[in-house]
Structure 1
Amino acid sequence: MLRPFPLLALVSLPLWLAACSDPAAQNSGPAPRVVMTATIQPLAQSTLTLTGVVRARNEVPVAFQVSGRIAERLVEAGQPVQQGQLLYRLDPKDLAESVRVAKAAQAAARASLQTVQAEKRRTEQLIKQRFVSEQAKDQVELRFNEAKANLDRANAQLQQAEHGLTYANLTAGSDGVITDVTGEPGQVVAAGQRLGALATAQQSEIEVQLPEHIQPPQTGSADFAGQSLQLKLRSAAGSADSASLTRQARYSLNEQPAELALGRVLAVQLQLPAQNQQVLVPLAALDERGQQPQLWTVTDGKAQPHAVEVVALNAQSATVRTELPADSRIITLGTHLLEPGMAVRELKP
């Protein structure tokens, strides 16, 4: 009895050999990688919430015009002051000593000038009698001019020292509120060193510190005593602070509540521009290889990376800032295996 299986194998062998020798079958290349995709979701909230501080529109630094040791501080932060009110007092001992030294220098310069003047008169008499030459007169004239200049300099130094003695009392230049104080009794300070600030205007505004990558929005609002105060951008720093990596912005208030004290901290909401809006993506879609995190999209059957900025992470998702449109589809799994231009095939649901 004949068995069919050997016969079937003999018939199939040529076909199998032909398939193995087919160049088209050998050069077809790897199949496109199958990937799963999802649509990125824009965050429903496009408002940035920050902490703002109530500031006066005009603040004048408080500082001495001379160096010295603080003997007394007469104000506290938040205290209203009137023009001419005493704020700080320096120890006058060193300043008074400077006046005494300047007076001594002035007396010496005056005596020197008087001596040269007498010598000049004698020389002029001797020249008339032809006992000395004209060259001697020139020398005496030179010493006289030098002595006169020394006296002028001594007078100026004495005047400066006397003014410095009056600068030992630091007073308010105008009515206002002391917003902060940094000087303490016993502290040695330099001329011009900031010891506080005097708010000189009644108009208040809100100061906020924005992340360096965000352009200050034009409008916003602040919560105060159960009401929403409308804000409008007045000024913004041209660049970010290198230490804090934040950018200062100040917003004017449409209303000025009387109870809104300087230095008060408020919650501020700022409407972000479109370029600053954030999107939510699956955590597995985030590829952190390279120098910057990235997302992958499918373009004409090929994987393409797009750099993003990570704002926040949780166990399932990531909040990122990206230039991709809100309805873009991104690859959600296996992104660490992708390369730019790799052939991929989107798995249809």
Structure 2
Amino acid sequence: MHASLPILTFGLAATLAACQAKPQEAVKSDRPVLVQAVAFEPQAPERTFVATIRPRVESDLGFRVAGKVARRLVSVGDTVKAGQALAALDATDLRLQREQAEAEMRAATAALLQAESELRRILTLRGQGWSTTATYDRQQAITEEARGRLARAERALLLAENAFSYATLTADLDGVVTATQIEPGQVVDTDKVAIRIARLSEKEAAIAIPEAQIAAVRTGTASITLWSNPDKRYQATLRELSPSADPATRTYQARFSILSAEETVQFGMTATVTIGEAGTTEVARLPLSSLHNQGGGPAVWVVGTDGRPALRPVTVAAYQSHDVLVTKGVSDGDRVIILGVQKLDPGQRVRIVETLQF
């Protein structure tokens, strides 16, 4: 009876030890961890600017002669072709000037014919001894004057015809009318802007750049998205950067040519210009608490599909106050443990309690 007592006591102790070991193993295999999904991005952040779609070529057209506007043939938004009539002046006075120039030329032509005929007659008489050299020289001078008068009359007629043609304002290029500043009945001078036309083939995005961002804009790569269609992205190139700042805003005006702009890209639309640095290294930003170093360099714990963590060596590009920038060792979408990494063991099962999307 007394001999079986130690055996029973030993059995109870073994049973209690086994019961205590099972909860400890369960706690160890289901350690809760906090993870963060890896997302690579350019090391230098992209910069965005609000832009307005503008034409590269916009011409202010005006009449080359003064007069009273008789007709305006186009309105804002109309598409025009090169050579198309846009507006016309009252051409009554210009027509009279042309008719006057035509009459002057006819008179000069008749005077020249008469002078040349008289010169030939005097030359014949001179050969027969009936005319003097002085008479011949005088008639030759009259003939030269008649030729000069005819030349002046021809130039005057050409100028009158040009002035008459200037009474009709025509388009110099294919484009769209963006402004009209004349109305029928209005008297305009030669320095008055009548109609503004923008070329449709070349479109740009105009932005204002702060002084601190000039270098990034010069060397970066640009893309453009319209506010009306943010899912469509257009590639762009810097065409013009103002050498001086605007005195009011202290910003520099820049224009980006839009490559392969479609008809949906219309003048006056609001857009966003995104500037990224060319050749920027892709990095993953992780908390400093995710790094684990056992003497072989920095590493992180990555949770696999089986729910077990694996230690991976990583290449660190830079250390910041709260974060570390990693270039190699992890991939997009990897789940990196960011808290309690010193208490983990390889192969130990973990339980994710919260996932942060970076």
Normalization by structure 1: what TM-score? Answer: 0.53
Matched, 1:236 2:240: yes
Check conservation: 2:204, 2:258, Cα contact below 8 A: yes
Deviates more, 1:77-86 or 1:243-252: 243-252
Aligned equivalent of 1:187: 187
Unaligned ranges ≥5, structure 1: 1-43, 274-349
Q: 1:121 to 1:241 in 2, by over 3 A?
A: farther
Q: 1:112 to 1:162 in 2, by over 3 A?
A: same
Aligned equivalent of 2:264: 259
Aligned equivalent of 2:285: none
Aligned equivalent of 1:172: 171
* Structure 2 residue corresponding to 1:227, chosen from 225, 230, 242: 230
Q: 1:143 to 1:234 in 2, by over 3 A?
A: farther
Distance in structure 1 (CA, Å) of the matches to 2:245 and 2:111:
57
Aligned equivalent of 2:24: none
Check conservation: 2:237, 2:257, Cα contact below 8 A: yes
TM-superposed deviation, 1:246: 6.1
Matched, 1:69 2:105: no
Which amino acid letter does the alignment assign opposite residue 152 of structure 2? Answer: R
Matched, 1:143 2:142: yes
Deviation per CA, 1:63-122, whole angstroms, max 9, x where unpaired?
434443322212222222345543111111221122022123213322332342243234
Distance in structure 2 (CA, Å) of the matches to 1:271 and 1:181:
39
Deviation per CA, 1:253-308, whole angstroms, max 9, x where unpaired?
245354322233445455699xxxxxxxxxxxxxxxxxxxxxxxxxxxxxxxxxxx
Structure 2 counterpart SS, 1:151:
helix
Deviation per CA, 1:161-196, whole angstroms, max 9, x where unpaired?
2243233222335543112233333131317x6433
Matched, 1:205 2:209: no
Bigger Rg over Cα: 2
Which amino acid letter does the alignment assign opposite residue 177 of structure 1? Answer: V
Q: 1:221 to 1:143 in 2, by over 3 A?
A: same
Structure 2 counterpart SS, 1:262:
coil
Aligned equivalent of 2:129: 130
Distance in structure 2 (CA, Å) of the matches to 1:78 and 1:241:
32
Aligned equivalent of 1:98: 97
TM-superposed deviation, 1:131: 4.0
Distance in structure 1 (CA, Å) of the matches to 2:77 and 2:97:
35
TM-superposed deviation, 1:227: 0.8
TM-superposed deviation, 1:45: 8.5
Distance in structure 2 (CA, Å) of the matches to 1:141 and 1:246:
72
The alignment of Structure 1 onto Structure 2 pairs a total of residues equal to 229
Which amino acid letter does the alignment assign opposite residue 151 of structure 1? Answer: L
Distance in structure 2 (CA, Å) of the matches to 1:57 and 1:180:
16
Distance in structure 2 (CA, Å) of the matches to 1:76 and 1:241:
35
Check conservation: 2:83, 2:171, Cα contact below 8 A: yes
TM alignment of 1:258-337, pairs within 5 A: 258-268=263-273
Q: 1:144 to 1:75 in 2, by over 3 A?
A: same
Deviation per CA, 1:21-48, whole angstroms, max 9, x where unpaired?
xxxxxxxxxxxxxxxxxxxxxxx99846
Distance in structure 1 (CA, Å) of the matches to 2:150 and 2:102:
11
Backbone CA RMSD of aligned residues: 3.7
Check conservation: 2:68, 2:90, Cα contact below 8 A: yes
Q: 1:242 to 1:90 in 2, by over 3 A?
A: farther
Q: 1:181 to 1:111 in 2, by over 3 A?
A: same
Check conservation: 2:94, 2:164, Cα contact below 8 A: yes
Distance in structure 1 (CA, Å) of the matches to 2:49 and 2:63:
39
Q: 1:54 to 1:110 in 2, by over 3 A?
A: same
TM-superposed deviation, 1:151: 0.7
Distance in structure 1 (CA, Å) of the matches to 2:212 and 2:153:
57
Unaligned ranges ≥5, structure 2: 1-43, 279-358
Identity %: 28
Distance in structure 1 (CA, Å) of the matches to 2:275 and 2:99:
60
Distance in structure 2 (CA, Å) of the matches to 1:260 and 1:92:
40
Structure 1 counterpart SS, 2:201:
coil
Check conservation: 1:127, 1:133, Cα contact below 8 A: yes
Q: 1:110 to 1:241 in 2, by over 3 A?
A: farther
Aligned equivalent of 2:255: 250
Which amino acid letter does the alignment assign opposite residue 49 of structure 1? Answer: F
Aligned equivalent of 2:23: none
